[in-house]
Amino acid sequence: MKLSLNWIKDYVKLPDDMDLTRLAYDLTMSTVEVEGAESLAERFDKIIVGEIKEVLPHPNADKLRVCRVDIGEEEIKDIVCGGSNLEAGMKVVVACPGAMVRWHGEGEPVEIKNAKLRGVASFGMICAAVEVGLADLFPAKDDHEIMDVTSFDVPAGTPISKALGLDDIILEIDNKSMTNRPDLWGHYGIAREIAALYDLPLVEFKKYEPDTTCEYDVRIIDSERCPRFIGAKVEGLSIKPSPFEMQSRIWRVGMRPINALVDITNYVMLATGQPTHVYDSNHIIDHIEVRRANEGEILQLLNDKELALSTDDLVISDAEGAVGLAGVMGGAKDSVLPETESVIFECANFESRGIRRTALRYDNRTEASSRYEKAVDPERCDQAVSLAMKLFAELYPNMKVTAYKDLYVNKLQKKEIDVDFDWLDRRLGKRIPQEVVARKLGAMGYDVIFTDKGMHIVVPTWRSTGDVSIKADIMEEVARMYGYENFEATTITTSFDGAINQLDVDLVRKIKEYLAFRSNMQEIFTYPWMTDEFVTALMPSTDGILALATPPAPNERFIRSSLLPNICKAIVKNERNFDEFDIFEEAQIFLDKDYTSNYEGEKLPMQKKHLGCAFVGASDNVTELFRRAKGVIGSMPRYTHMEAFTFEKIEKPYWADETVWLNIMLNGKKIGDLALLSKKAALACGIKVLSAVLVELDMDELVPLKSRTNRYVRMHEFPMNEYDLSFLVDSMIKWDDVYSCVMAKKNELLRDVKFVDEYKGKQIPSGKKSVTIRLIIGSDEKTLTGAEIEQVANSVLKRLSKNISAEIRA
């Protein structure tokens, strides 16, 4: 919302030495966020009134003229201009060198410089209204018409801002900062805050007393939705422009002047925050009534939208039908028309929620509806009528109010609040003198009555529509008017009864740090919604997956039941730039089942914390990828201090390769999968070149250890010897088979056996593979001799050849 400082000064007399920066700062701190303050005089810097003395032809151009212009200096200036309405004696707007104008009203402002136009030197430029941003106040009949200010009786050389009375400061208020304050949506409301801030007197509106006894026929059918309606028949009017100052004020705060009648209603709204409307009285048949629309009732609005209304809409109607959509916009047929000479003036109060619903239903929010929907109080009508009638009288000295009715059927109850001083002091952390409290509250319109221990406060009507209702609100009023900056920060005290110990929270962090810092993986964040093609690629069906009612995109309806679709999307994205990478994400997944209740009355679908990982690399070395993944996941329990899990083959994940997959098991329960993404699924995802081993794990199932459980093991006193063996076996023989064969009934000197390598291919017969293992052989009593070591190795070889038909490689 824009506010004119001059307009505010109508209601509160600011000291002449008022520092504007200070005002903006104080308003921001205590009331609303002032986003900017623009001086119009600066905007129109170096733009002045010039008087054309003579219009001469341009020697080199038919459409241009050379104007001899008096700009208040001794020397008459030559200015080249192509205006269609140039005449000697005319007063025009001259942008002198250094001024900022918009060429033909378009683009960014550019600086005017002395220039030669088709060979003739020109001092600055004679402007069209659009070029100095004044087209709304000086509409041009055609593109070449320049702005005519002859009617302003000012000498040449006067700055245009002064000539037009634009010497004003425009404050830009952030609307978001006052959605809860219906009283602030006009100049008067802000003036009241300023008055309270600086202890200045506020101008009051004199209540309007009609001098007619004739009652206008107003009927309120729905008093819940329309607590008050004032209707007045005003005669002796006509359609004409409003006075320049009125137009100018309306324009300065961002609206367009239309004609005197419409301008009066807008002016009243901008001043008081109360919307009003005028209907051509010749079009209003018999009476005005405020009622719900009939289902399908047709109304054409002023902006030509034709609506088929619903019974939830409130309308202003005459005897024949709707003439306006209450609180939103008037009807096209019955509002002000070119021939209007008398009007029905409406100043009404409507219930906020209904207005909001209607405005949203037809996507037709207006200046009026946006004020009503914040809950304007019904007594503001008094201020609005007072100002409107004053303006009618000023603009139309012959006007007469011939019928009048103020129907206030649903009177607003002022809120009443009791506040203890003791409570107030404790919450503020500071004692503010009662006299200051009472003065500040009084200036904002509160009635304060001191009681034994505190105050009985009656809230003014304009704050009683939902804004202020409890003592915490009063505390806020006091604190902000006293100045938040005048309260020093106090320290926080507390008692500790032990260290914070949150094993589950710590485990999540340990896992993420293990993956990132020990396992070289990168954490990613993805959205909770999944893209359809990835869902189709990775899941057998969409059963049990939750969807959004209004998804971000039509193909992003489903919210994740698994982290893998989005991880695959991340693989596709990064495949372009990297040929090897490992990524992980920790996030919640959602399933359309369970609907259990952890909290009061709430039944929520199943939500779990999952870990998803992808180990991505070249397709020709799946073994390496697989072992990388298995190594990272397999070692995770040890490094993150949780109960160990195991790998088993129980149930192949839908998206997994036929052979390369494992389930992750904890205490007999499947808690996750580790598997190669199948070729089919990879292609469906659009993963073109690389292979990926994916892991998904239910983190809610993980069990953190209360403390570390591993024990210290003594270092061996005598050397442990490594002895490598290579042999050929059937290629279907697994490492597990080799391991159990070696370790079963083993010699006590054989301490361990490790996988070193396996090889298939050249020099190895088909159907076979070469396996290299490393035996760890040693004694706790002595250093073994070569012969003793050989003996252990030979016994292993014998067992291998007997049990799994291993052939020793030559």
590 in contact with other proteins (CB under 8 A): yes
The vertex-122 CA angle with 116 and 126, nearest 5°, equals: 130
CB nearer other proteins, residue 336 or residue 587: 587
d(CA 360, CA 393): 37
**Total residues at the site for other proteins (CB under 8 A)?**
92
Tell whether residue 140 is a contact of other proteins (CB under 8 A).
Answer: no
- Helix (H/G/I), strand (E/B), else coil: 62: strand
Q: Which of residues 167-186 bind other proteins (CB under 8 A)?
A: 177-181
By C-beta, is 238 or 574 nearer to other proteins?
Answer: 574
| Per-residue mark of binding to other proteins, 30-59 (x: CB under 8 A) | xxxx-xx-----------------------
Considering the complex, what minimum distance in angstroms separates the CB of residue 3 from other proteins? 17
642 forms beta bridges with: 704
Q: Which stretch binds other proteins (CB under 8 A): 2-10, 321-329, 586-594, 665-673?
A: 586-594
Q: Tell me 76's DSSP state.
A: P
**CB closer to other proteins, 353 vs 782:** 353
Query: CB 423 → other proteins: shortest distance, Å?
Result: 7
Cβ-Cβ contacts under 8 Å for 516 (sequence gap 6 or more): 522, 523
Site for other proteins in 10-29 (CB under 8 A): 28-29
Minimum CB separation of residue 504 from other proteins in Å reads: 10
Give the per-residue contact string, 495-524, with other proteins (x = CB under 8 A; - = no).
-x---x-x--x---x--xx-xxx-xxxxxx
Please tell me the distance from the alpha carbon of residue 184 to that of residue 177, in angstroms, as a whole number: 10
d(CA 433, CA 475): 13
Residue pair 751/796 in contact (Cβ under 8 Å)? The answer is: no
Closest approach of Cβ 473 to other proteins, in Å? 6
Q: For residues 240 and 603, which CB has a smaller minimum distance to other proteins in the complex?
A: 603
Choices 122-130, 574-582, 658-666, 699-707 (CB under 8 A): range interacting with other proteins: 574-582
Shortest gap between Cβ of 701 and other proteins (angstroms)? 17
- Asked whether position 313 contacts other proteins by CB under 8 A, the answer is no
Please identify which residue in 152, 205, 423, 639 interacts with other proteins, judged by CB under 8 A.
423
Q: What is the DSSP letter of 419?
A: E
Residue among 112 and 559 whose Cβ is closer to other proteins = 559
| Minimum distance of other proteins from residue 573's CB (angstroms) | 6
> Which residues ranging from 323 to 382 are in contact with other proteins (CB under 8 A)?
352-353, 356-357, 360
User: Please, what is the minimum distance in Å from the beta carbon of residue 226 to other proteins?
Assistant: 17
603-632 residues near other proteins, rule: CB under 8 A: 603-605, 607
Q: Helix (H, G, I), strand (E, B), or coil: what is residue 295?
A: coil
3-state secondary structure of 170: strand
AA letter at 103: W
Q: 419 with 454: CB under 8 angstroms?
A: yes
Residue 289, beta-bridge partner list:
219, 317
**578 binds other proteins per the rule CB under 8 A:** yes
To which residue do tokens 């030495």 refer? 17
Is the separation of the CB atoms in 310 and 299 below 8 Å?
no
Q: Nearest approach, Cβ of 472 to other proteins (angstroms)?
A: 4
Structure tokens at 363: 């996507």
Q: Considering only 92-100, 130-138, 203-211, 567-575, which stretch makes contact with other proteins by CB under 8 A?
A: 567-575
Residues from 521 through 550 that contact other proteins (CB under 8 A): 521-528, 546-550
Tell me: does residue 426 bind other proteins (CB under 8 A): yes
Residue 46 Cβ vs other proteins, minimum distance, rounded to whole Å = 22
The β-bridge partners of 589 are 608
Closest CB to other proteins among residues 509, 809: 509
**Residue located via tokens 């920066």:** 21
CB of 585 to other proteins, least distance (A): 9
Give the shortest CB-431-to-other proteins separation in angstroms.
Answer: 12
Q: Which is nearer to other proteins, 141 or 176 (CB)?
A: 176
What is the rounded distance in angstroms from the CA atom of residue 207 to the CA atom of residue 579?
79
Quick check: 208 and 389 in contact, CB under 8 A? yes
- Name the strand (E) or helix (H) holding 554: none
Which of the residues 444 through 483 are near other proteins (CB under 8 A)?
466, 470, 472-473, 475-476, 479-480
Residue 559 binds other proteins (CB under 8 A): yes
Q: Is 511 helix (H, G, I), strand (E, B) or coil?
A: helix
What is the closest distance, in whole angstroms, from the C-beta atom of residue 793 to other proteins in the complex? 36
Terminal Cα-to-Cα distance of the chain (whole angstroms) = 91
- Characterize the bridge pairing of strands 288-292 and 218-220: parallel
Residue closer to other proteins (CB basis): 67 or 538: 538
Binding test (CB under 8 A) with other proteins, winner from 151, 213, 413, 491: 491
Structure tokens at 201: 């007197």
What is the Cα Rg of the chain in Å? 42
Provide the minimum distance between the beta carbon of 109 and other proteins in the complex, in angstroms, as a whole number. 18
Q: How far apart are CA 588 and CA 199, in angstroms?
A: 55
Q: Which tokens in the block code for residue 309?
A: 């209304």
390 is an interface residue for other proteins by CB under 8 A: no
Closest CA to 230 of 275, 263, 174: 275
* Sign of the dihedral through C-alpha 537, 543, 546, 547: positive
Contact 223, 410 (CB under 8 A): yes
| Residue number, 35 or 730, with CB nearest to other proteins | 35
